[in-house]
Amino acid sequence: MKTFVLDTNVLVHDPRSIFKFRDNEVVIPIMVLEELDSLKTRQDGAGQDARIAMRFLDEIKNKGEIFDGVVVNDEGGKIRIELKYHDCKTMPAAFDPT
């Protein structure tokens, strides 16, 4: 089983992408949920896709403990929300993007 960590852009580009990872684990950082939440009020395609993605995640949340991982297909693929958040300000200097 591989683990794929999705960012906001993936879910806005294709909200259904969370179901396309077959027998692998999809991890969505909590920060992505916050970003989707702020996008969902927009009246354009990005806002619409953010709403769709949030709807899918709400449905998954109702099937089990999404913070531990919920199986979403017959192949054993799982989706989970990662609560650990690391502020980039605390990253070592070698990771400075400037």
Evaluate if residue 40 carries a pLDDT over 70: yes
Model pLDDT, residue 1: 86
Query: Given this model, what pLDDT does residue 97 score?
Result: 58
Q: Any residues with CB less than 8 A from the CB of 7 and at least 6 apart, and which?
A: 29, 32
pLDDT, residue 22, reads 93
Question: Please, which pLDDT band fits residue 25 given cuts at 50, 70 and 90?
Answer: very high
Q: What is the pLDDT of residue 54?
A: 96
Candidates 42, 52, 43; CA nearest to 10 is 52
Question: What are 42-85's pLDDT values in tens digits?
Answer: 999 999 999 999 999 999 999 999 999 999 999 999 999 999 86
Q: Are 63 and 70 in contact (CB under 8 A)?
A: yes
In this predicted structure, what is the pLDDT of residue 15?
95
**Structural domains in the chain?**
3-84 (3.40.50.1010)
State how far the Cα of 94 lies from the Cα of 76, in Å rounded to an integer: 38
